[in-house]
Amino acid sequence: MTDRHIVITGVSGGLGRHLAMCAVQKGYGVTGLCRTPPADIPCQMLACDVSVAEQVADCFAQLRHIPLWAVINAAGVAAMNLTLTTPPETMRRIVEVNLLGTMYCSAQAGRLLARRKGGRIINFSSIAVALGLEGESAYVAAKAGVEGFTRAFSREMSSFGVTVNAVAPGPIPTQLTAGVPQRKIDALVERQVVRRQGSPDDVWQTVQWLLDDASGMISGQCLHVGGV
């Protein structure tokens, strides 16, 4: 797999970290992007705030000579607040990281993958979009934007042999959901098709398939881990 290098954002914790560890174990070359790179993931690390376009461009400029195969946009932030009580700066940060960060990284990676004439872009949405979860309106808006961007960008990249898809997990036990009361987690699980809480490995299995050649006919889709 060393001829297939993956860039993964948000590797300091949560799903991003788990995906990076799994990709390394499968033999992919991996570069992790996050604001404060951890020292215990055995891969290349670059410090980057994905919401800052200039930092993203600088990071991908350093990667232009590697055999890039995919970017996994796993960086994300959330805040549980009703719209009427969500501070504007919180709304802005949620949109900047979840939506603009995904767009910035996808655009930079897309230029490299277009030259390769193949590859994968995998974005992250959430079950919160499909269910229209109250108390997460800013997060839902940002992730809905990710889904719309995924559909449109998949058409732009199709002539280059690059697929663009999104993965939308249900509630996964990570730092992002650590502060959510268990009763809310249970209520979410009851609204899924598969009525159990998923694990980071469930998400990796979906991502791994999207990375594989076998998924080459799948693009512009949002795959729900848990079902809605």
Question: What is the band of 213 on the pLDDT scale with cuts at 50, 70, 90?
Answer: very high
The whole-angstrom separation of Cα 56 and Cα 206 is 26
Question: What is the band of 182 on the pLDDT scale with cuts at 50, 70, 90?
Answer: confident
Q: Show which residues are catalytic.
A: 139
pLDDT for residue 10: 97
Class of domain 5-225: alpha beta
Average predicted confidence (pLDDT) for the chain? 94
In the predicted structure, residue 1 carries a pLDDT above the cut 70: no
List pLDDT tens digits, range 49-100. 999 999 999 999 999 999 999 999 999 999 889 999 999 999 999 999 999 9
Structure tokens at 215: 């998924």
Domain ranges of the chain: 5-225
Q: How far apart are the first and last CA of the chain?
A: 33
List pLDDT tens digits, range 192-207. 889 888 899 999 999 9
